[in-house]
Amino acid sequence: MHIQEITELRRQGELSKAFELAFNAWDRDKADPFLQMSLFWVLRDMCYQFFKHGYFDEVEVCLKEMKAFLSTMLDEKDMGKKAFQVLYHRVQNGAEVILPALHLSKQRPKDAFSQIAHFIDFPRFFDPLLREDLGWIMYRYLKEILYNLPSDEAKKLLDTYVKLENPRPSLLHSQMLNYSIKFSQEHSDFKLYPFLQRWNPALFREEDLQRQVYEEHTIPSLLEKLIKQLVENNESFRFEDLAQSVAYPKNKLIELFRQAQFRRIVQFKHWQQWENMIQAFKDYATFNSNLGPSTWHSRTLKLAFWYLRRDRAAFFLDFFKVWSYRNFDEDDWRPTYDKADNRQEELVTMVLQRCHNLLACERNKQDHFDWYAKFLAQYMFRFPKNKKAIRYQAFLYHWQQKDDCAIILFKQLLRETPDKYHLWYEAAQCLNGNIDTKIIFLCKLLHLQPEESLLGNTRLTLAKALIRKGMMSAAKTELELYLQYHRSKSYIARCLMSNISTETIENDSNQDLYQHYAQYAEDVLSD
């Protein structure tokens, strides 16, 4: 009954009567949460009357009494707490200037900022709630003049904001970081990561880490925007320090960085900025080499496989060396299928083949052999019977001047696939110390009668061996045949020809020679 009467008196503006009735009822039963609530709201209305007449001492007395009721009174939906906070806010030092400026900042940010500019250098004089208000006024001002504010002034204001020490994490705090990201896009001299450190990456809100969906459009999270801009700026920092600060799974954080770096590479490719693209690949490899395998890591390797070709192919070896063969995930060891259900080779297999082909052209680069040997060993462990891998291992031995080891593997391959023309030639390259066997292998190849276009330098190599053997007529025959089909590469052939007497008469054909030596090939393989 008392509560209804008190409420009615409040509505009629009879606050003195309402207070007397509420106080007396509460005084008889101080534990009643309903009576506490009734007295609280009477005190609230009295505060506004005191404000109106400038009785600020009385306001403070009322607030003290109201605060005492907050923890025990009936307060559905925290309405009482919110009402108290509003009043508490109004009585703080500086509120008479800051609160009107806060309201003004929604329509006229510049004018509002000018009214509080002399406050922002002395934040400790103000309650945290008013510091939050100062922060909002600063934010709206910065947002208003984003494109017209000199970098130095913006950096000063952002630093000033950090020193406000307003409640954090908060919407305002997140908006300030969002502003700094946009500002960084427009001002290359602004370093985003140092500001992030002052902002404190441990202060992301939960919603800052999640993508938002608006009208069927997915909006990147604040964290994604930050990472994208850090990558765009190519700023240096310690990833591990950042990962420890942000309350976000490390593996997902790595993927966000890798995704942003991937798109940066694609962007440079789209713009045909080749030097920037290559540098972006280098930056990617350096950043990620020790962060382990992942989907985006493998996707970036595929990107390098397709983008670093032709005149940029040499960069692939450097990229993959840092990318690290240890970072293949399980999916990379499995074949894939395109939309037409056509089988595509495993990523690992494609990369191995690319490495082999590049090293075959640049085998003097010894700094690649150590890691390549480990990569090849890893591959052969997974696919021990893969003939391509065995062939690559034989070549590696040859490049490392371990021809005895190389020839063992080539013989193994030739026993299993003697019809592979190129294997006879490749094996012969490892037999510089055994001219007879070298001639046998090359003659075996020619005896199989492949098309001339498939022979490459076979005749030239055989001619060299025959000259060393003193078989000048047969050597001259090979050189004449070579010159017939390779006019553009005639220099070496003509140099070799100069070692043969002009009186030497070439054979009509070397077919008998091929047949004679080829018969010993099987014996050599079984040896």
The pair phi, psi for residue 217, each rounded to 5°, is -105, 135
Quick one: pLDDT at residue 65?
83
DSSP state letters, 255-279: HHHHHHHHHHHHHHHHTT-HHHHHH
Is the per-residue pLDDT at 488 higher than 80?
Answer: no
Give Cβ neighbours of residue 278 (< 8 Å, ≥ 6 apart).
308, 312, 315
Q: Give the residue with greater pLDDT, 367 vs 427.
A: 427
* Mean pLDDT, residues 378-384 taken together: 95
Half-sphere exposure (CA, 13 Å, Cβ side) for 478? Answer: 30
Query: Which two structure tokens, joined as six digits, stand for 193?
Result: 């990561």
Is the per-residue pLDDT at 121 higher than 90?
Answer: no
> What are the domain boundaries of the chain?
2-90, 431-526
Quick one: pLDDT at residue 64?
82
* pLDDT tens column, 264-302: 999 999 999 999 999 999 999 999 989 999 999 999 999
Quick one: pLDDT at residue 23?
86
Quick one: pLDDT at residue 264?
97
Residue 353: pLDDT band with limits 50, 70, 90? very high
DSSP state letters, 132-155: HHHHHHHHHHHHHTTTTS-HHHHH
Quick one: pLDDT at residue 377?
97
Contact 69, 39 (CB under 8 A): yes
Is the per-residue pLDDT at 391 higher than 80?
Answer: yes
Q: What is the mean pLDDT of the chain?
A: 90
What CA–CA distance (Å, rounded) separates 499 from 479? 12
Quick one: pLDDT at residue 1?
52
Is the per-residue pLDDT at 26 higher than 90?
Answer: no
What CA–CA distance (Å, rounded) separates 445 from 439? 10
Quick one: pLDDT at residue 109?
94
Q: How many CB atoms lie within 10 A of CB 53?
A: 8
